[in-house]
A and B are shown apart, each in its own frame.
Chain A
Amino acid sequence: MTRTLVTDAGNTWCPGCGNFTIQHALKAVLAEMEAAGKSLDEIVLVSGIGCHAKIADYTNINSFYALHGRAIPVATGIKLANPRLTVICCVGDGDAYAEGLDHLIFAAKRNIDITLVVHDNRVYGLTTGQYTPTSPLGFHGKSTPQGTTEYPINPMELMLASGATYVARGYTKKMALLQQLIAGGIAHKGFAFIDVLQVCATFFNQTAQYNRQVYELAGHDPTSFEAACVKAREWDYNSDAPIALGLLYERERQTFNERVPVPVMTQEVREQGIREVLEQHR
């Protein structure tokens, strides 16, 4: 390894926070990529805003610490601007499913070749405990002391419907699987979506429930859209149903960045183009 993957920024995640696991998994994937000959200079990490986003400060690679909900359009712009870059986008459930839901759906629709890791702890941590789009019905948060009165959305179903070409779910207590899913997402050509059930040690510790409900997919055919839909609908982010972990769906489709190639043109040629356009307008 040519550089340490951790910056000297002081880490302020709570003890037991699931973000540590995601960062460890990501670092392991980066180390593997470097060992396989990929230059870390060609990797960019884009984050939203929230506890998860500190990963941009803590990880010693190119990063764009963006705005709440706005990591995906930034990541899209970077990939379009320079498709040689590997763009990894870490966001929270508030980022992806509330503030920036439009961008999420469009990223899937376009099949932009980025990897989205959603740190889905199902609670707003940094703002000290309010419900999110994936919090269960009746969730008691600071903005909903009587319990929420709305059902959660099911992001897996949403992403399948929106055209995502890599749809997976991980869990922060299953580090090896998580690492495998992130590596698979980066290797996937197209929009890779990984919802990570992340434990929030302080505001919503679901460890016991998750440990009871989760199972790793075996014998599942990820090329079957129908089979993926069945697995996506098995748990609605609200019930006590079994929670499938792993790769639910993967398919190949031309990517947005392949359809929008980078123009290669010198300024001299551009100026010739301007002269031609002016002549047309004469």
Chain B
Amino acid sequence: MKEVSVLIGGKAGDGISNAGALIAQMLNHLGYYVYQYNDYPSLIRGGHTFAVIRAADRQVSVHQDRVDFLLALDKRTVDQHHDASPACTMIVNVDLVRSSHDGQGISLYAILAAEQAPAIMGNSAVIGAFAKAAGIPWETVAGVFHSHMPKGLEENLRVARRAYDQVQTVRAIEPLDRTARPLLTGNEAISLGLVRAGLSAYVSYPMTPSSGILHFLAEHADRLGLTVIHPENEIAVMLMALGFSYAGRRVAVGTSGGGFCLMTEGLSLAGMAELPIVIVVSQRTGPSTGLPTYTGQADLRFVLHAGQGEFPRFVVAPADANQAYYWSAVAMNLAWKYQIPTFILADKTLSEGQYSLDPENIAAVVAEKPHLWDRTMPYSRYRDMPEGISPLAFPGEKDAIVKVNSYAHDEAGITTEDAGMVSLMAKKRMSKWIGLSFALMDYPAVYVGGKTDAPTALLCWGSVRGACEEVAVALGLRLVQPVVLRPFPAAQMTGAFTGVTRIITVEENADGQLATLAREHGIEAHGDILKYDGRPFTPSELLVRVEEVMAR
């Protein structure tokens, strides 16, 4: 197995995450699978920010604590990260780092002065120096800059070249014989997955860590045929989106926990009015404002139960960009097939992490046509039909009077308090659970990895799967990740646990929310590993904790 990890750190405003993305692309162009983790505080300038780029000859979706290269734009990067990787190769900015650690120094000040370049281009010097230290051919560096440097290309290249020429190759990274793959953040993968299934409008109010979807779709709105709206608040987001849905446009909204709080009255309306909508909730550390730029998995129960009253919903929690790309499209199709709200439950690790996408290994999903009115009977928006699915018509269609209603209503959509009708319509809505649960049997709703016949299983959900799977492989354990969490894929979970005698849950919350959900469905965990400090599990950290639990 070949792999290499690079950490680049500095102050917010140094362009660390962009520099990390360029390094990720260089490793991508050496033929490696890549994962990039970005760690940054909630501020615009200052603080400590770093990115870890991990490249391997196999898919990876988590970073490691120990790195091979440490690129320090400032002293704090060395102070904070060197101890975890004492044998690493260092490139330091000697203007700010004057410690006695081994490594090669470059003066950003001198390089920038020589090229008369602005301070923000300092990271290009660090990238150039890293490339030389890692034995990456200059052509690869120049090629990546050409493709991925939106402005100031020539100047940045000169800065990078000057640094490239000042250092020696000390730890060459062996190129692999594979072509480069698209690198996508989880937010970008969710976005493109939605478009694959016909997204035509996205409505959102900015909130970390979901804002990347808004920015990405707004940037590509023309090319992808989208209406992208940023309204006054999340209440308007949800209701405006339901207006789009009523009018027949495939629509999604995105937010994080606090914004989703404001969306819940509209969510319940979607449930009652049977309006299709996709809701992306990307979790961060809570409660309340919490840690805006750090991760968490504490909103599972919230999303499963949000909104007054009872109505069917679909909740999927992808682990990486590849699952996100596939399941976001599925979520859109299911929303329209069953005329229900569907959720993509992400977290900061997934949303803002960058992954190698394997489009050829992701199952095809096409934009499926919903059940439309065929004009044989007079139109009734809530006609009682098998599986609870009433044919859709949209306002503007000839001879269809389309009435949707937040009140209890009859088949025509007119308010009613009649006990029989109220009960009939509730049954109609709730019967969608049955069809939806059956439909799930056709999808890979539960992922099983690691040693798939091992008697001890790690049970996890969402982005934590990256670390769990590596630990499972290392310790010979089974790994079970329910990708779909509502409806609970009970049959597939039973199959996944066949022969298992011991289950250990791993979650980034304090309550063990998946553990209690599994218990409701007769799956009893024998130990749990929880983390709620906003930082994602790394495999090395998790390995120690799994061994502790197993030794009990």
Residue numbers of A with Cβ under 8 A of B are 7, 9, 39, 41-42, 44, 46, 49, 54, 56-57, 60-67, 70, 73-82, 84-85, 102-103, 106, 260, 262-265, 267, 269-271, 273-274, 276-282
CA separation between A270 and B147, bound complex, in Å? 22
Contact of A103 among B147, B184, B232, B401 (CB under 8 A): B232
B415 at interface, CB cutoff 8 A = yes
| B432: chain A residues within 8 A (beta carbon) | none
| B357: chain A residues within 8 A (beta carbon) | 278, 281
Q: Are B225 and A270 in contact (CB under 8 A)?
A: yes
Please, which residue of chain A has its CB at the minimum distance from the CB of B404? Answer: A64
CA separation between A276 and B201, bound complex, in Å? 20
Please, which residue of chain B has its CB at the minimum distance from the CB of A99? Answer: B235
Q: Are A78 and B246 in contact (CB under 8 A)?
A: yes
Contact of A85 among B182, B235, B242, B396 (CB under 8 A): B396
Q: Are B188 and A281 in contact (CB under 8 A)?
A: yes
Q: Given A67-B406, A70-B239, A270-B198, are A82 and B232 also a contact pair (CB < 8 Å)?
A: no
Q: Are A277 and B224 in contact (CB under 8 A)?
A: yes
Mask of B216-235 contacts with A, CB within 8 angstroms, 1/0? 00001111111101011101
Contact of A42 among B221, B239, B248, B396 (CB under 8 A): B396
Please, which residue of chain B has its CB at the minimum distance from the CB of A276? Answer: B223
Please, which residue of chain A has its CB at the minimum distance from the CB of B183? Answer: A281
Q: Given A39-B398, A267-B198, A278-B182, are A81 and B223 also a contact pair (CB < 8 Å)?
A: no
| B409: chain A residues within 8 A (beta carbon) | 65
B525 at interface, CB cutoff 8 A = no
Looking at B246, B366, B367, which has the most chain A CB atoms within 10 Å of its CB?
B246
B118 at interface, CB cutoff 8 A = no
CA separation between A276 and B192, bound complex, in Å? 11
Q: Are A77 and B415 in contact (CB under 8 A)?
A: no
B177 at interface, CB cutoff 8 A = no
Q: Are A66 and B224 in contact (CB under 8 A)?
A: no
| A270: chain B residues within 8 A (beta carbon) | 195-196, 198, 224-225
Q: Are B401 and A60 in contact (CB under 8 A)?
A: yes
Q: Are A80 and B415 in contact (CB under 8 A)?
A: no
Q: Are B414 and A7 in contact (CB under 8 A)?
A: yes
CA separation between A103 and B201, bound complex, in Å? 19
| B83: chain A residues within 8 A (beta carbon) | none
Q: Are B403 and A80 in contact (CB under 8 A)?
A: no
In whole Å, how far is B223's beta carbon from the nearest beta carbon of chain A?
A: 4
Please, which residue of chain A has its CB at the minimum distance from the CB of B199? Answer: A270
Mask of B179-193 contacts with A, CB within 8 angstroms, 1/0? 011111000100010
CA separation between A57 and B410, bound complex, in Å? 11
Please, which residue of chain A has its CB at the minimum distance from the CB of B239? Answer: A73
| B235: chain A residues within 8 A (beta carbon) | 70, 73, 102-103
Q: Are B224 and A77 in contact (CB under 8 A)?
A: no
Q: Are B242 and A77 in contact (CB under 8 A)?
A: yes
CA separation between A27 and B337, bound complex, in Å? 35
| A60: chain B residues within 8 A (beta carbon) | 401
Q: Are B401 and A77 in contact (CB under 8 A)?
A: no
Q: Are A65 and B249 in contact (CB under 8 A)?
A: no
B517 at interface, CB cutoff 8 A = no
| A64: chain B residues within 8 A (beta carbon) | 243, 246, 273, 403-404
B265 at interface, CB cutoff 8 A = yes
CA separation between A74 and B239, bound complex, in Å? 5
Q: Are B224 and A273 in contact (CB under 8 A)?
A: yes
In whole Å, how far is A54's beta carbon from the nearest beta carbon of chain B?
A: 7
B59 at interface, CB cutoff 8 A = no
Interface members, chain B 379-429 (any A CB < 8 Å):
394-407, 409, 412-415
CA separation between A79 and B359, bound complex, in Å? 36
| A42: chain B residues within 8 A (beta carbon) | 395-396
5 extra interface residue pairs, beta carbon distance < 8 Å, beyond A76-B231, A102-B233: A80-B229, A81-B246, A263-B225, A270-B225, A274-B196
Interface members, chain B 461-519 (any A CB < 8 Å):
none
B542 at interface, CB cutoff 8 A = no
Contact of B225 among A82, A269, A276 (CB under 8 A): A269
Please, which residue of chain A has its CB at the minimum distance from the CB of B225? Answer: A265
| A103: chain B residues within 8 A (beta carbon) | 232, 235-236, 239
Mask of B299-331 contacts with A, CB within 8 angstroms, 1/0? 000000000000000000000000000000000
Contact of B404 among A54, A63, A75, A281 (CB under 8 A): A63
In whole Å, how far is B18's beta carbon from the nearest beta carbon of chain A?
A: 14
CA separation between A73 and B235, bound complex, in Å? 9
In whole Å, how far is B144's beta carbon from the nearest beta carbon of chain A?
A: 10
Q: Are A41 and B395 in contact (CB under 8 A)?
A: yes
Q: Are B240 and A57 in contact (CB under 8 A)?
A: no
CA separation between A200 and B188, bound complex, in Å? 53
9 pairs from A and B in contact (CB 8 Å cutoff): A7-B414, A44-B395, A63-B403, A65-B406, A67-B239, A76-B231, A76-B240, A265-B225, A274-B195
| A75: chain B residues within 8 A (beta carbon) | 243
Q: Are B221 and A78 in contact (CB under 8 A)?
A: no
| B400: chain A residues within 8 A (beta carbon) | 41, 62
Q: Are B248 and A81 in contact (CB under 8 A)?
A: yes
| A260: chain B residues within 8 A (beta carbon) | 227, 229
B200 at interface, CB cutoff 8 A = yes
Q: Given A263-B226, A270-B195, are A80 and B266 also a contact pair (CB < 8 Å)?
A: no
B88 at interface, CB cutoff 8 A = no
| B184: chain A residues within 8 A (beta carbon) | 278, 281
In whole Å, how far is B393's beta carbon from the nearest beta carbon of chain A?
A: 10
Q: Are B244 and A77 in contact (CB under 8 A)?
A: yes
| B157: chain A residues within 8 A (beta carbon) | none
Q: Are A273 and B225 in contact (CB under 8 A)?
A: yes
CA separation between A9 and B395, bound complex, in Å? 20
Q: Are B403 and A56 in contact (CB under 8 A)?
A: yes
Contact of B403 among A65, A85, A262 (CB under 8 A): A65
CA separation between A67 and B196, bound complex, in Å? 32
Please, which residue of chain A has its CB at the minimum distance from the CB of B188? Answer: A281
| A66: chain B residues within 8 A (beta carbon) | 239, 269, 406
In whole Å, how far is B380's beta carbon from the nearest beta carbon of chain A?
A: 12
B372 at interface, CB cutoff 8 A = no
Q: Are B396 and A82 in contact (CB under 8 A)?
A: yes
| A74: chain B residues within 8 A (beta carbon) | 239-240, 242-243, 246
CA separation between A267 and B28, bound complex, in Å? 30
In whole Å, how far is A148's beta carbon from the nearest beta carbon of chain B?
A: 26
Please, which residue of chain B has its CB at the minimum distance from the CB of A2? Answer: B399
CA separation between A85 and B221, bound complex, in Å? 23
| B231: chain A residues within 8 A (beta carbon) | 73, 76, 106
CA separation between A57 and B226, bound complex, in Å? 33
Q: Are B181 and A282 in contact (CB under 8 A)?
A: yes
